[in-house]
Structure 1
Amino acid sequence: MTAPAGSPPRRVAVIGGGVSGLTAAYTLRKALGDDAVIVVYEAGDRPGGLLCTRRVGDTGLDLGAEAFIVRRPEALALVRELGLADQVVSPGPLRPAIWSDDRLHPLPSPAVMGIPRDAAALGGLLDPKDRVTIDGEADRPLDWTPGRPVSVGRLVRERFGDAVVARSVDPMLGGVYSARADDLGLAETVPALAAALDAGASSLTAAVGRLLSAPAGSGPVFGALRGGYRQLVDALVAASRAVIKVDSPVRALTEIGDGFGVEAGQDGEYDALIVAVPPWQATTVLATVAPESAALLGAVRPAGSAVVGAVLAPGTAVPEHSGILVASDAGMHSKAVTLSSQKWPHLAPDGPPVLRVSFGRLGEPVDVDDQTLMRRAVDDLAAYFGAVGLAAPAVQAATVQRWPQGLPHYGPGHLPAMARALEALPPRIGLAGAAFAGVGVPACIGSARAAVARIVPGDL
């Protein structure tokens, strides 16, 4: 029996067991109390989604999301609520490098997501003609219409030139969104820059300068958990006290009186729903109960990727960086390398070096076999290491993790479309996940809290 309309739901189904779904289940438990029935339906064989800590040799390594932004409150607040504050670790002092023109370059600075304030910020990544284009940009008229959907790549290419996009912006954005700058909306991925232009900045140079002159927070930007994201997943499962049904993809939802029916391996009836699966899955699930929202979600494309986690032979020397971001015109297979044991000093402090090699962007599937992907990783690592005079690394152990439909595509106009999808939902259905307010873990946590607030009356 469903709860009467207007009363708090007593039976809630959460569709999807990633960080958004698990956070929703935990938030529901706090809001509804011990007597509520909360069931999480997860299509995979484990909860966690893109939070995936796996063994690589003797080391536990996150092969999906690896860190969260500390200066956003959501993730750090949740970690503290769950009693994991003492497990938060910060990265070491080393910075990433950019791979371009067969060598490693310092990360462009000062810059906003790779978009520089001036040509000097990009060091040796540019030729003299590029430098003249950048440093003269402030003197050229800017044709800008506030609120107009535009891609990051188009804007930067028009104002600063192709090289800045390929060698600075693509490397920065590609690791976050698994897409090139030409495919990413400015308002979606660099909203503060879009806001500065909407507010009347006279040039891209002026807009970047305005952001860089704003006060910045102190302390580390990123944090991680000592035992990997598996700690957060396990803590959420325990604290939510939800029934977790793995290997249970939801086929459809139906309306039953004032509630909903869930068609899965074991069907159930619920007062309310939180749908926390990727939009290309949510469109099928919601087709009957929320057709307008489903149609908008169905237009979102997935961006896939793959990660090779590797442990190198003991004593292997590695470049003095936290990682390597690869220019999109460099002709390499990989898009980035995280030198994990240098970026995160707590990882294997006395053991051999540990790293991650990342592949894949929107429209560039990573559907080759594992051996081919590992071989490409080894070949690219040999080039990166050789450029600084180091021997090609010998891989002692390796694991491949694929995310064929990992992230939603944040193209121009994506966020307004997602806002319409949320507005079109019927009562007692909430949507959560990486499609709505950003792809990072803090944004997913925030979207889960917002989804619960939509279906539970009163303050959370």
Structure 2
Amino acid sequence: MSAVTSPPPGHTGHAVVIGGGISGLAAAHRLQAGGARVTVLEASGRLGGKLCAGEIEGVAVDLGAESMLARRPEAVELARAVGLGERLQPPATASASLWTRGTLRPMPKGHVMGVPGDPAPLAASGVISDEGLARIARDAELPPTPVGDDVALGEFIAARLGREVVDRLVEPLLGGVYAGDVYRTSMRAAVPTLFELARANRPLAEGVRELTERAAQRQGGAGPVFMGIDGGIGRLPLAVADAVRAGGGEIRTGAPVRELRRTADGWTVVTDDEVLRADAVVVAAPAPAAARLLAADSPAASAELATVDYASMALITMAFRRDDVASLADGSGFLVPPVDGHTIKAATFSSRKWGWLRDAAPDLFVLRTSIGRFEDEEHLKRDDADLVGMSLADLGAATGLDAQPVATRVSRWDGGLPQYPVGHLDRVARIRAEVAKLPGLRVCGAVYDGVGIPACIGSARTAADELLTATLAAGAVGGERE
């Protein structure tokens, strides 16, 4: 867990942040706290990126990310800093299941991202066959599997524990984070604790068991693993934006940046409506946009960014009359291994998971499903009604639900999740090394240090602090407009 830090104080100058998602807004908030004057430019018509506040049947819901890791401090700290501390809430229940082998089965305890440490709950769950359990037991007898500087998570786990563990445990868990192919996902980037076990040539089950035991010992004083916000996580970027505006910052939506160029005394940022000059720029845009903006002044970084792949997905939010879903299975929802051939990859029983949502709409029951994985996005070409119908069909098969929703919302996230293949961290290091050659420029966001909310905010903090230390101390230009 990183320490709580404050930005370097007492700096002046103008910083332009390109991108109004949580990364860009967090960077703006940090820069402003360090004394910079800030302008945020967001290409779309709204702020927040993949954090999206919405409603269904008049009830506030998240139409994007719905929770944040609380064991890493950045997101919780930012929420408190912008006045949302009293709205932070842990899940009311976190007992998820797996829909696999024809039924809902309890998610086995004692694992790290699906890699088991204790065979007993795994065997009791029925998720893994007897042959698969026997294959797991062979891990301690196998010779070391080389990992080098990085290795594909799925390939390594399959070599040590067998493909069943990957297909029925690791894949559905990682699919919810990256919507990617776990057989190509970097273990070093996605699950660094497992990568360190692999480099030490330790039996995986033994190492995972130690990790989970240490985590259990810390549980009492460490608080919840995940946290939500009363009214939805989508409130966070809006509150950060309000704080930036209250501090004198400017935030513009519908303001795509057409050109970014280095000048003798700073940077010029060109939109359709204006030309801004700045001492420093943070590019907090997705990789394709960042690649375009950096092409002139940092072609090497631009070329690296152009190689980043993205996965698309859709979230289908449905509201039912609570009486119509009284027989719905217990728990916060379930994950779906793709090997089982179903359409949805997860279902979240939101009204059961979040106490604030249950209390806000006692007569309704809100749940949502997700569809779409990297290079498996054919279903996303269908219209909204089809996605709702396919979700209802899978929900019926998994839980017996036969009710019809009173309202539905389909949120499509095209190119929403960057992929972290083997070698991703080396690619990020090369990008940052090239960007650092240009004074007054930094990058941040989900492309670089993790797709979770705390990771994005941590990335933004680093970018802002580096600029406050290296560039904005001079405060040369002051952000004139042409």
TM-score by length of 2: 0.89
Matches within 5 A, 1:80-99: 80-99=80-99
Aligned residues: 445
Partner of 1:457: 469
Q: Give yes or no for the alignment of 1:20 onto 2:28.
A: no
Against the structure 1 CA distance between its residues 94 and 78, is the aligned structure 2 distance closer, same or farther, given a 3 Å change threshold?
closer
Over residues 357-383 of structure 1, what are the superposed CA-to-partner deviations in whole Å (9 max), with x where a residue is unaligned? 011111122222111111111111111
Match of 1:166?
Answer: 167
Q: Which amino acid aligns with 2:198?
A: L
1:256 aligned to 240, 258, 263, which one? 263
Instruction: Say whether the 8 Å CA contact 1:88–1:224 is kept in structure 2.
Output: yes
Query: What amino acid sits opposite 2:267 in the alignment?
Result: F
Aligned equivalents of 1:230 and 1:410: distance in 2?
25
The equivalent residue for 2:7 is none
Give the match for residue 111 of structure 1: 111
How far the C-alpha of 1:434 sits from its partner, in A, is 0.7
Root-mean-square deviation (CA), in Å?
Answer: 1.8
1:193 alignment partner in structure 2 = 194
Q: 1:324 aligns with which of 315, 334, 338?
A: 334
Q: Is the 8 A contact 2:138 2:161 kept in 1?
A: no
Q: Does the CA contact (< 8 Å) of 2:31 and 2:465 recur in 1? A: no
CA contact (8 A) 2:145 2:201 kept: no
Q: Whole-Å Cα distance in 2 between the matches of residues 434 and 385 of structure 1?
A: 34
Counterpart residue identity of residue 32, structure 1: G
Once the two structures are TM-superposed, the CA of residue 442 in structure 1 deviates from its matched residue by 0.5
Q: Name the counterpart of 2:252.
A: 245
Determine which of 125, 128, 133 is the counterpart of 1:126.
128
Look up the match of 2:480: none
User: Equivalents in 2 of 1:83, 1:313: separation in Å?
Assistant: 33
Helix, strand or coil: the match of 1:307? strand
The residue correspondences of 1:18-97 to structure 2 (distance < 5 A) are 18-32=21-35, 36=37, 38-97=38-97
- The unaligned stretches of length 5 or more in structure 1 are 1-6
Pick aligned residue for 2:458 from 420, 428, 446: 446
Q: CA deviation at 1:133?
A: 0.6
Report deviation, 1:209: 2.7
Aligned amino acid, residue 176 of structure 1? V
In structure 2, C-alpha distance between the alignment counterparts of 1:89 and 1:8, rounded to whole Å: 35
How many Å apart are 1:288 and its aligned residue? 1.0
Contact 1:21 1:274 in 2 (8 A): yes
**Between Structure 1 and Structure 2, which shows a larger proportion of helix residues?**
2
Tell me what 1:405 maps to: 415
CA distance in 1, matches of 2:202, 2:21: 42
Deviation at 1:8, TM superposition (A): 5.1
Match of 2:276 among 268, 277, 298: 268
Which AA in structure 2 matches 1:416? D
Taking the aligned partners of 2:208 and 2:305, their CA distance within structure 1 comes to: 32
Aligned to 1:4: none
Contact 2:152–2:183 under 8 Å retained in 1? yes
The Cα of 1:9 is off from its aligned counterpart by 5.5
Q: Whole-Å Cα distance in 2 between the matches of residues 148 and 450 of structure 1?
A: 24
Cα deviation, residue 424, structure 1: 1.3
Who is 2:285 aligned against?
Answer: 277
Q: Which whole-Å CA distance do the structure 1 matches of 2:298 and 2:243 have between them?
A: 30
Q: Is the 8 A contact 1:63 1:356 kept in 2?
A: no
Question: Equivalent of 1:139, from 138, 141, 148?
Answer: 141
Corresponding position: 1:228 with 2:232: yes
Asked whether the equivalents of residues 197 and 204 of structure 2 are also in contact (C-alpha less than 8 Å), the reply is no
Aligned AA (1:19): I
Please report how far the alpha carbon of residue 118 of structure 1 lies from its aligned counterpart in structure 2 after TM superposition. 4.5
Tell me the TM-score normalized by structure 1.
0.93
- Percent of residue pairs bearing the same amino acid type: 36
Deviations 1:315-357 (A, max 9, x none): 1222101011001111111100011011112213312111110
Given the superposition, is the C-alpha separation of residues 144 and 213 from structure 1 closer, same or farther in structure 2, using an over 3 Å criterion?
A: farther
- 1:188: how far off? 0.9
